[in-house]
Amino acid sequence: MTEQAPARKSTWKQDPEAVKADILRVATAEFADRGLSGARIDEIAAKTSVSKRMIYYYFSDKEGLYRAALEGVYARLRANERALDLTGLDPIAALTELIKATFDSHRSLPDFIRLVMIENIHHAAYMKQSLIIPELNSSIISKLAELCDAGKAAGIFYDHVDPVELHWMISSMSFYNVSNRETFSHSFGAELHTSAGQQRLRQRVVDAVLAIAVKPRPNAPALA
Amino acid sequence: MTEQAPARKSTWKQDPEAVKADILRVATAEFADRGLSGARIDEIAAKTSVSKRMIYYYFSDKEGLYRAALEGVYARLRANERALDLTGLDPIAALTELIKATFDSHRSLPDFIRLVMIENIHHAAYMKQSLIIPELNSSIISKLAELCDAGKAAGIFYDHVDPVELHWMISSMSFYNVSNRETFSHSFGAELHTSAGQQRLRQRVVDAVLAIAVKPRPNAPALA
DNA sequence: ACTAAAATGTACCAATCTGTTAAATTCATG
DNA sequence: CATGAATTTAACAGATTGGTACATTTTAGT
């Protein structure tokens, strides 16, 4: 009887890791869809392959399950950000790529957006309890900081450019684009959320952020 | 004997309008603080001067009360926007004032922000039921449209400038600034939410939006 | 095979929470 | 001041929901 994990697992009928993952998958979708108090433990249990008892067995209580879901989506966003490779690009190109990647990343992770919305409704109470989330937030800022330093050193970025300010601006538009889609579309039409509209918006974000970071150059291309 | 005397005789005042307003005031705060499913009718009732039964008497049910609160905060934001007078300003100055006013307006109406967040969590379901909200949304766009037309006519705005796009960008940053304050501050520090930080952010929003709207001018002042 | 521990299911409870019933109080008006 | 409509209260009912007690099955090690 070997200790090698993969082969042995297949013979197991009980599979705690798979059960935990299954619960977390369903719970994330459910919390994202209905909020912390809106989600129902019974409903989550019904959508998993196991009974409600297992939720309490593995996650203690509703808040424990919610915390696990929150940490999960943060980890996924962080993985996205870490996958972004900007080596070899000049500061302007690098910043452009980072903006586009952030915009796309937010669009592709609606569960992250919605759980962060829900966290803000709860005054970030559960995020503040988490021990693992803080360490996830450094990579994007350090990438931006490097980039800003390079841009300033080359004399093409303004001296006042600040990584956290840049991240705030990039995030705000990337986040709002997803978070407020429903109310915005209903109020002002869905034009901006067509595929062509989203492409245009992304370019506007690039243009706007570059404009506050990059000094005007005499031979720069004018906006289309 | 006028009816204005505050506490005249009995414990009952019999003042339906004041009762309705009191319920709505408390409910708005409570829904904004805890969300639709998180708010408790008993809790709202306890914080008013009247009994729970009155909520059902005047607002039918929990959702009716929530809808009333939602319509109330929208009306307040649009009133703010309508009060903004841009006559006599050239397009650039007018746009600058509009951006600053929007940024400030969002900061001063946290209940609006939070109820819109909650609406988006609910996929704008209740906003879509409202008959009065749609008519509130036109004034800001028409103001921007006028402004864009003037700017293009004067040859100082890009031809591609679009009122809805501009509003999207101004709103996104003004909204996110309030909506995501808790999570952003916790992740990246509270520097941007100090009074000095907010002043700086507002100026960045102005600079960024102007940059995508206004053609570069040879003698334009460089960013600070 | 036997046993203890881990993993899972079933049935249930206690606490909440929304909404209702029936009655009491106030007020306008004839 | 009698009367009925509008307004308000107190108490309660029905349903929902998070959480638990206890039984049962599965697994690893002996």
Query: What does the pLDDT look like over B13-33, one tens digit per residue?
Result: 677 889 999 999 999 999 999
Query: Chain A 127-166, CB below 8 Å of chain B: which residues?
Result: 127-128, 133-134, 137, 141, 158, 160, 164-165
**Nearest-10 Cα torsion for A165, A206, A75, B121:** 90
Query: Chain A 164-193, CB below 8 Å of chain B: which residues?
Result: 164-165, 167-169, 171-173, 175-177, 179-189, 191-192
Number of domains in chain A: 1
Of A133, A158, A204, the CB nearest to B212: A204
Nearest CA in chain A to B175: A176
pLDDT at B164 over 70: yes
For A198, other C-beta atoms within 10 Å of its C-beta total 15
Does residue B224 form part of some domain?
A: no
Does residue A151 form part of some domain?
A: yes
- The answer, for B16 touching chain A at a CB cutoff of 8 Å, is no
Kindly report the nearest CA distance between residue B82 and chain A, in angstroms. Answer: 16
Of B52, B171, B134, the residue nearest A181 (C-alpha): B171
Mean pLDDT of B32-40: 97
> Does residue B67 approach strand C to less than 7 Å at its CB?
no
Same domain, B34 and B71: no
Label residue B224 by pLDDT band (50, 70, 90): low
Kindly report the nearest CA distance between residue A67 and chain B, in angstroms. Answer: 14
The overall average pLDDT reported for chain B is 91
Q: Which chain A positions have a beta carbon within 8 Å of B139's beta carbon?
A: none
Domain that holds residue B20: 16-59
Label residue A8 by pLDDT band (50, 70, 90): very low
Same domain, B118 and B46: no
| Interchain CB distance below 8 Å, B137 and A164 | no
Whose tokens are 């929007």? That residue is B102
Q: Which chain A positions have a beta carbon within 8 Å of B29's beta carbon?
A: none
Q: Is B111 exposed, middle or buried (0-12, 13-18, 19+ CB in 10 A)?
A: middle
Residues A35-65: pLDDT tens digits? 999 999 999 999 999 999 999 999 999 999 9
Collapsed DSSP state (helix, strand, coil) of residue A6: helix
Does residue A172 form part of some domain?
A: yes
In A37-117 the beta strands, taken as DSSP E runs, fall at none
Does residue A221 form part of some domain?
A: no
Report the alpha-carbon distance of residue A141 to residue A45 in Å, rounded: 38
pLDDT at A12 over 70: no
| Interchain CB distance below 8 Å, B208 and A208 | yes
Predicted pLDDT at B133: 87
Predicted pLDDT at A28: 98
Q: How far is CA A21 from CA A15, A36, A37, A130, in A?
A: 10, 19, 22, 19
Predicted pLDDT at B132: 87
Predicted pLDDT at A13: 61
Does residue B51 form part of some domain?
A: yes
Label residue B9 by pLDDT band (50, 70, 90): very low
| Interchain CB distance below 8 Å, A164 and B201 | no
pLDDT at A199 over 60: yes
pLDDT at B169 over 60: yes
Does residue A87 form part of some domain?
A: yes
Same domain, B45 and B74: no
Same domain, B54 and B83: no
pLDDT at A190 over 80: yes
pLDDT at A2 over 80: no
Residues 6+ apart with CB under 8 A from B23: B44, B48, B50, B54, B55, B58, B59, B65
Report the alpha-carbon distance of residue B189 to residue B47 in Å, rounded: 34
Same domain, B74 and B149: yes
Of B120, B128, B172, the CB nearest to A172: B172
Specify the CATH number for the domain of residue A159: 1.10.357.10
Could you say which nucleotides of strand D lie within 7 A of any protein CB atom?
A: 6-11, 16-22, 26-29
Residue that finishes a domain, picked among B8, B35, B59: B59
Q: How far is CA B5 from CA B12, B13, B49, B77, B109, in A?
A: 13, 10, 18, 33, 32
Does residue B130 form part of some domain?
A: yes
- Greater confidence (A128 vs B218) lies with A128
Residues A75-119: pLDDT tens digits? 999 999 999 999 999 999 999 999 999 999 999 999 999 999 999
**Nearest-10 Cα torsion for B80, B82, B84, B90:** 150
Residues B57-110: pLDDT tens digits? 999 999 999 999 999 999 999 899 999 999 999 999 999 999 999 999 999 999
Minimum CA–C1' distance nucleotide for A42? D17
Same domain, B49 and B83: no
Task: Give the whole-number percent of chain B exceeding pLDDT 90.
Answer: 84
| Interchain CB distance below 8 Å, A179 and B120 | yes
Predicted pLDDT at A171: 98
Kindly report the nearest CA distance between residue B54 and chain A, in angstroms. Answer: 25
Does residue B218 form part of some domain?
A: no
Task: Give the whole-number percent of chain B exceeding pLDDT 70.
Answer: 91
Same domain, B129 and B77: yes
Of A207, A97, A179, the residue nearest B175 (C-alpha): A179
Specify the CATH number for the domain of residue B29: 1.10.10.60
C-alpha B115: how far from chain center: 9
Q: What does the block give as tokens for A223?
A: 């906006």
Mean pLDDT of A143-164: 97
Residue B73 near residue B112, CB atoms below 8 Å: yes
